[in-house]
Amino acid sequence: MKIKGLLLFASVLLLVLTNVLANEQADGTPKPRAAMTADHSKFEQLDQAFDYAPDVTEACLECHTEAAEQVHDSFHWRWAAKVDGKMVGKGENGFNNYCVAARGNESCTQCHAGYGWRNDKFDFEAEENVDCLVCHDTTGTYKKSAAMSGHPYYEDTLIGGQLIPAVDLRRVAQNVGQPQRENCLSCHANGGGGNGVKHGDTDMSLVDPVHELDVHMSSDKLNFSCQTCHKTSGHEIAGRYNGKVAFVDHQLDMGRAERDGKNLSCESCHGNKPHDQRQLDNHTAKVACASCHIPEMARGPYLTKLSWDWSTAGQLKDGKPFSEDALFDGVEAHRYMSKKGTFTWGKNVVPEYRWYKGELQQKTLQDVIDPMAAPIDINPPTGDYRDQDARIWPFKIHRGKQPYDTEFNRILPIKLYGKKSSGAFWTEFDWQRALQVGADNNHVEFSGSYGFIETNGYWPIKHMVAPGEQAVDCIECHQQQGRLAGLNDFYLLGRDSHSLVDAFGALAIFGGLFGVAGHSGYRYLSARRRAVNNAKTS
């Protein structure tokens, strides 16, 4: 029995030690739990010398049989959605006041999750056109070429003095995984032509932000991935776009099934009374969390573009395009480019505030504008004080000056990118031709007459949430000429005056003073009367 007991003890001890060693690395720290259930380096389909990226997609689809169809149904693929019976988005009819329109400019479609979107002949139904690697590459070596409509660099290429090595498709394919921040930000942080240009709250500093820059994504504490908030199911990624609001409601998630896969709000986790202070919690009915907890935009090391004037583009020196740089908030950036016109930039910029209920009203290239109403709001947020779903929200409002048809009063798209004789403005610097080709590419009628008009583009600020101690102070809003100076459809304590409220306040103050004075006078007279009576009695 003793021997059996010793053998049993030894077996248990060996099992425990085996399990401990199996879950530890060489330095004694626990092994990270594998997030994947498949090692793609073991798949024969991926162990080959690919020379064409769509061939990798076909290999992926041998196992992931439904993936391409799921991607085809997503906004990431279509870049447009039907709103009020009309397709709206940068893939069709939509525009902004950066590069105006993506359609016909293959450098813009380098960020499309597909291969070869160069013109209207692109086959949106072809499964092999889906680019799996742009989202699932974990090597950091997969780069899409602006000159090849979303294909990667198949050969070593010199871009702006930097050598971009040819992609090793076998290595990338064998090392796919869950999308990382770098995958999402490679496009979403570089929209509008470069890092931080477009959004004001999204740049490459979010790949590994310090806690002071973003309390949710910093690896010091919460270490959120993009998908922590942008919930994903079947390649449908939660996020606002044309036809889909930014959030469902302002209630705790509570695991309700009907909210699965829907856009959530800050309150989904924090609730609508997160401060444990009644005075602050009373604000949440009308003030978005972001308004106080994102005090400035572009809070990292990078600038964001604040204005873009296309009307000055096309100037040449000695017949050649040129650029001029200047310092903006201590950081050097282009002030002028022949290709693009004049810019202003900024960092740590106080946002502007508007009522917002998760929707932006996108104008399209088919909409008629009123030049007398300039600046034209091209995607204004909806909602006002009386709308119970709307809250005060911080915005980057990008000021633009862009071409429009002076006869038909419509915004004009520009053919920007392309070889000589293509009509591209960046190679020919001919406005008339670039606008005609841009209009043709986007099926827009062009009268031949054009001018430039001021426009406003609205970008809600949602990222770069600061630590609580850096939240906006009360006085920054509750004062004249404070942060909310642009919102005047409601009474704001400390900023506004109203005759009835002022009269009531004056009545309360002076009535109170009169009451105190009257009461004091009565007490004084009573005391004196008692003193006189006491004297007479004694």
Summarize pLDDT for 503-533 with one digit per residue, the tens. Answer: 887 888 888 888 888 888 888 888 888 888 8
Lowest mean pLDDT among 203-212, 441-450, 488-497: 488-497
Residue 270: CB partners within 8 Å, gap ≥ 6? 289
Look at residue 411 and tell me whether its pLDDT is greater than 50. Answer: yes
How much is the average pLDDT of 169-177?
97
% of residues, the chain, pLDDT over 90: 70
Band (pLDDT 50/70/90 cuts) for residue 476 is very high
Considering only residues 450 and 247, tell me which one the structure prediction assigns the higher pLDDT.
450
Asked whether the beta carbons of 350 and 319 are under 8 A apart, the reply is: no
Give residue 538's pLDDT: 67
Band (pLDDT 50/70/90 cuts) for residue 341 is very high
Q: CB atoms < 10 A from the CB of 371, how many?
A: 12
Considering only residues 8 and 528, tell me which one the structure prediction assigns the higher pLDDT.
528
Band (pLDDT 50/70/90 cuts) for residue 534 is confident
Lowest mean pLDDT among 11-15, 104-108, 475-479: 11-15
Question: CB-based burial of residue 156 (10 Å sphere; 0-12 exposed, 13-18 middle, 19+ buried)?
Answer: exposed
How much is the average pLDDT of 347-367?
96
Asked whether the beta carbons of 429 and 414 are under 8 A apart, the reply is: no
Give residue 514's pLDDT: 86
3-state SS track over 5-74: HHHHHHHHHHHHHHHHHHCECCCCCECCCCCCCCCHHHCHHHCCCCCCHHHHHHHHHCCCCCHHHHHHCC
The amino acid at residue 331 is V
Sort residue 357 into left (φ over 0), alpha (ψ -120 to 50) or beta. alpha
Band (pLDDT 50/70/90 cuts) for residue 537 is confident
Look at residue 149 and tell me whether its pLDDT is greater than 90. Answer: no
How much is the average pLDDT of 196-221?
96
Summarize pLDDT for 64-85 with one digit per residue, the tens. Answer: 999 999 999 999 999 998 888 8
How much is the average pLDDT of 293-322?
97
Give residue 35's pLDDT: 61
Nearest to 348 by CA among 237, 464, 460: 464
Residue with tokens 């304590």, as numbered in its chain: 493
Burial 39-70 (b: 16+ CB within 10 A, else e): ebeebeebeeebeebbebbebbbeeeeebbee
Q: How far is Cα 340 from Cα 312, in angstroms, rounded to an integer?
A: 8
Question: Which residues make beta-bridge pairs with 305?
Answer: 345
Give residue 486's pLDDT: 87
Look at residue 255 and tell me whether its pLDDT is greater than 80. Answer: no
Q: How far is Cα 76 from Cα 61, in angstroms, rounded to an integer?
A: 18
Look at residue 329 and tell me whether its pLDDT is greater than 70. Answer: yes
Nearest to 254 by CA among 266, 271, 239, 238: 271
Give residue 15's pLDDT: 38
Length of the chain, in residues:
538
Look at residue 438 and tell me whether its pLDDT is greater than 90. Answer: yes
Going from the C-alpha of 535 to that of each of 521, 524, 528, 532, 538, the distances in angstroms are 21, 17, 11, 5, 5
Distance of CA 434 to the CA centre of its chain: 30
Residue 324: CB partners within 8 Å, gap ≥ 6? 334, 335, 336
Residue 339: CB partners within 8 Å, gap ≥ 6? 313, 321, 416, 425, 426
Gyration radius (Cα) of the chain, Å: 31
Lowest mean pLDDT among 200-204, 205-209, 351-355, 509-513: 509-513
Question: For residue 351, is the peptide bond before it cis, meaning its omega torsion is within 30 degrees of 0?
Answer: no
Summarize pLDDT for 25-40 with one digit per residue, the tens. Answer: 445 554 445 567 889 9
Give residue 130's pLDDT: 97
How much is the average pLDDT of 199-226?
96
Look at residue 47 and tell me whether its pLDDT is greater than 60. Answer: yes
Going from the C-alpha of 245 to that of each of 126, 230, 326, 361, 393, the distances in angstroms are 29, 13, 38, 11, 14
How much is the average pLDDT of 101-106?
87
Q: How far is Cα 499 from Cα 510, in angstroms, rounded to an integer?
A: 16
How much is the average pLDDT of 223-229?
93
Give residue 190's pLDDT: 94
Residue with tokens 């999308």, as numbered in its chain: 179
Give residue 286's pLDDT: 96
Q: How far is Cα 311 from Cα 415, in angstroms, rounded to an integer?
A: 15
